[in-house]
Chain A
Amino acid sequence: MLNIKEVFETTNMIEHENLDVRTVTMGISLFDCSATTVEETCSRIEAKIRRHAGKLAETADAIAAEFGIPIVNKRISITPISLIGASCCKTPDDYVTICKMLDRVAKELGCNFLGGFSAVVSKGITESDRLLIESIPEALAVTDNICASVNVGSTKTGINMDAVKLMGEIVKKTAVRTADRECIGCAKLVVLCNAPDDNPFMAGAFLGITQGDAVINVGVSGPGVVKAALDKCHGENFQVLCDTIKKTAFKITRVGQMVAQEAAARLVSSSASSTFPLPLPQPSVTASPTSSRRWASRSAGLPARLRLSPCSTTR
């Protein structure tokens, strides 16, 4: 049975040390949304996002209320759009049309960011990639909640200097296009090298092509908790310091894991998705059940796979 010290340690972390869940981000694969016309592609993308993330904000709010832990942001990441729009987009304006639709859907679903208006061009640029990149200044100027990213290089393939040159021009155009709003367009644009296979962190978020149909990612934030724990270590030796950091990081991460498991369990029952990996930052925890049934049977226990790795902190 819990004791009063443990209970008040947790409530103190939440109330006074700013422990919270920064974001619950749902990744949605759009590979089955490609069509021969922009209108049909938009229609399929909108339907799929609504089917999976229709209750994302509502579910996150309910979890926050039940567990007494704030969940600050609800977000969506999608398959890089240059892959999905390749079959129908013939001009940069076609991509702007898709971007506007994504912005409208994100706002209607209560998501403050949707990431994945992206192209991966680390080796070469397809016509579709080029059109998407050229659409970025206008797309980010006429939308509010969309994040764009372009991966221009990797250790394995080297740096695509054509893409670097192009992105240099695009960054400037994006800044100029939103100059009246403190160049906000550039705050929603990331140019990456070595983009990870899947990236849930805005503004460079996109759903990796190796991911399942829908995934839940949770970012936890507890620098105040770590600081408070370290404050209690003054004068202690290095071993005590290391143990304190490990114990504190464990507690913070477990909160994220719990929220991710709960969100996955609730959203999987209201959607057709079958796989819900749960990567968390610092360290990350991943659970990958292979089916919704298997997930349901594991939702109360340990995840299927536990992986500890260094990971970038969420914004």
Chain B
Amino acid sequence: MEKTVITVVGKDTTGIIARSSTFLYEHNINILDIAQTVLDGIFNMMMIVDVSGMDITFEEFVCKMKALAEEIGVDIRCQREEIFDMMHRI
């Protein structure tokens, strides 16, 4: 399993989760965990996904997610899970 953390930050609007998860489904990326909060109208979402079965390279995945982020009008970051594990787990 190759875990990647996707973070979405931006103005709350309809369809952020729907469009993100549709994109992930189209590329055979499995969502393992999802959490979200809305603070002062700012949408914060974190998804942990398994990219081991995806049909595109990681670079393409990052590029396409960025393009999607521009369409929706939010910021999306895709980072391998290890960086979070290293910082927050011994």
Residues of A that sit less than 8 Å from B by CB: 1-4, 6-11, 65-69, 251, 254-255, 257-258
Q: Which A residues touch B87, using CB under 8 A?
A: 6, 9-10, 251, 254-255
17 contacts between A and B (CB under 8 A): A1-B48, A2-B85, A4-B35, A4-B46, A6-B87, A8-B46, A10-B87, A10-B88, A11-B9, A11-B77, A66-B58, A67-B79, A67-B80, A68-B77, A68-B80, A251-B88, A258-B86
Q: How many residues of B contact A (CB 8 A)?
A: 26
| B84 at the binding interface (Cβ < 8 Å) | yes
Chain B binding surface SS class: strand
Q: Are B5 and A2 in contact (CB under 8 A)?
A: yes
A48 to B85, CA, bound (A): 36
Q: A65-B59, A255-B86, A258-B86 are in contact. Are A2 and B7 (CB under 8 A)?
A: no
Beta-carbon nearest neighbor of A259 in chain B: B83
Q: Which of A3, A8, A67, A69 touches B44 (beta carbons < 8 Å)?
A: A8
Given contacts A1-B33, A1-B48, A65-B59, contact A7 B7 (CB under 8 A): yes
Per-position binary interface string of chain B over residues 56-88, scored 1 when its CB falls under 8 Å from any chain A CB and 0 otherwise: 001100100000000000000111111111111
Q: Which of B7-34 contact A (CB under 8 A)?
A: 7, 9, 32-33
B52 contacts partner chain A, Cβ-Cβ < 8 Å: no
Complex: A65 Cα to B83 Cα, angstroms: 12
Chain B residues lying within 8 Å of A258, measured Cβ to Cβ, are 82-83, 86
Contacts of A66 in B (CB 8 A): 58, 79-80
| Shortest distance from the beta carbon of B77 to any chain A beta carbon, whole Å | 5
- Known: A1-B48, A65-B58; 17 extra A-B contacts, CB below 8 A, are A2-B5, A2-B84, A4-B35, A4-B44, A6-B88, A9-B87, A10-B83, A10-B87, A11-B9, A11-B79, A66-B58, A67-B82, A251-B87, A251-B88, A255-B86, A257-B86, A258-B82
Closest to B58 in A: A66
* Residue ID in chain B nearest A7 by CB atoms: B46
Please give me the residue from chain B that is nearest to A300 by CB atom: B82
> When the two chains form their complex, are residues B83 and A255 in contact, meaning their CB atoms are under 8 A apart?
yes
A6–B37 Cα distance when bound, in Å, is: 14
By a CB distance below 8 angstroms, the chain B residues around A3 are 35
List chain A residues, Cβ under 8 A from B46: 2, 4, 7-8
Tell me if A7 and B86 are in contact (CB < 8 A): no
B residues near A65, Cβ cutoff 8 Å:
58-59, 62
